[in-house]
Amino acid sequence: MGDLEHPFQSFLNDLYLKYKPLTDGTLASYIPELAKVDPNCFSICVVTVDGRIFEVGDAHQLFTIQSISKVFVYGMALAEHGRDKVLSKVGVEPTGDPFNSLIRLDESSKRPDNPMVNAGAIATTSLIKGTGATERLNQMLDMFRRYIGRDVYIDMSVFMSERSTGHRNRAMAHLMRHFGMIDENIDEALDLYFQQCSLMVNCRDLAVMAATLANKGVNPITDDRAIPSHYIRDVLSVMYTCGMYNFAGEWAYKVGIPAKSGVSGGIIAVVPNQVGIAVFSPPLDSHGNSVRGIKVCEDLAREFELHMFDLPMGCSHFRQTLANEP
C-alpha cells in the first residue's frame, strides 16, 4: 500500500473498490497454465519519474509478463541494431487484427506489420545478440533487470506450456524464415520468445518499468539506465499505435497514452516525463485486454486529463498535482 495520507492514494483505493466487484471477462485458456490463475487477483500501481510509489491490491502477486515483454525486447533490438536494421525486419503499422492473427506480411518488404503482434515480436526477439541460446537469454534477463531493479526469472511451467502448444507461433516463424525475416535458428528464436513471455513480474515491477520509459529510459528507483533515451520515442510511438491490438484505436480515443497489454491480465501505460501506470487483473475481454485494467486506465485518464490531447498538452500537470498534495 502507498502513502495512506496522500489524496492520490485515496483515489486509487476508491478506484480499486469500485472495480473489485466487476466479474466480467474470462481467463486466457489457449496457454493451459494461464487458465489456472486466480481471477480475483487485482492490483493498481503508479510510479512517478521521481520514484514515488502508489499502489493498492495484490501489487506483489507474481504472474507472467506475456506480451508486455514485447515492448522491452523491441527497445533492446533498437539499442543493439539501430532503427534502420530493426525497421528492415519489422514494420510499425497497426494491423487492426488480434494479437495472434496469422501472419500478414507486407507485400513488398515481407516484414511483419509491427513488433507488438506475435509475428513481429518473434522477428524482434530473433535479433537479440549472443553466441548461443544461454548467452542470449542472459542478455535479455539483464535488460529486464535494469528496467525492474531486481533479478528476474522464468516460470518454467508456463514456458513449457507455451512451447508445447505454440504451433501457431511456430508456423509464423517458419513462414518468416521462408521470406528471410529471421535466420535459420528458428527453434532458438521461438524458445527465447516463449521464455520472454514467461518472465515472472508483479504489478509494482510493471509500473517501475513503465516509469522507466516515462523517465527517458532511466529506472527512477535505481537510477540504472535501461535503454538509450533516443529510442524512447520509437518504443512509445509503437505502443501508442499498436500496443492494444485491435482495441488500439478505441484506446487512443478514450485513454490517449502509450500502453501495452498482456493475456495474463497486465496493462502498462506511460505518461511521458510524468508516471508509469500498471494494472493487473486476469479476466480478459474479447480483445485479450484486462477488463478491470481498461476501466481503471479510462478513469485515471478522465480524472487527471492524461490524454495526450487534453489541455494542458503533454500532461505536465499530473506529477505537479501529486507533488503539491500532502
Round to whole Å and give the CA distance between 42 and 46.
14
Amino acid identity of 187? D
Active-site residue (options: 193, 264, 279, 296) = 193
36 classed as catalytic: no
3-state helix, strand, coil in the chain (%, to 5): 50, 10, 40
Active-site residue (options: 16, 43, 47, 67) = 67
101 classed as catalytic: no
Taking residue 80's Cβ as centre, other Cβ atoms within 10 Å add up to 15
Active-site residue (options: 16, 19, 231, 245) = 245
Active-site residue (options: 43, 46, 70, 92) = 70
Written as nine digits, the cell of 254 is: 478514450
Closest CA relative to residue 162, chosen from 38, 30, 258, 60:
30
74 classed as catalytic: no
Taking residue 68's Cβ as centre, other Cβ atoms within 10 Å add up to 28
70 classed as catalytic: yes
- Indicate the angle between helix axes 186-197 and 69-81, nearest 10 degrees: 130
Contacts by 15-19, CB closer than 8 A, 24 or more apart: 15/44, 15/56, 15/296, 15/299, 15/300, 16/42, 16/44, 16/56, 16/57, 18/299, 19/281, 19/292, 19/295, 19/296
Cβ neighbourhood burial of 87 (10 Å; 0-12, 13-18, 19+): middle
Q: What order do you get walking across the sheet with 43-48 strand by strand?
A: 53-57, 43-48, 275-280, 266-271, 259-261
126 classed as catalytic: no
Alpha-carbon dihedral sign for residues 189, 195, 198, 202: negative
Active-site residue (options: 263, 271, 275, 291) = 263
Please list the active-site residues: 67, 70, 193, 245, 263
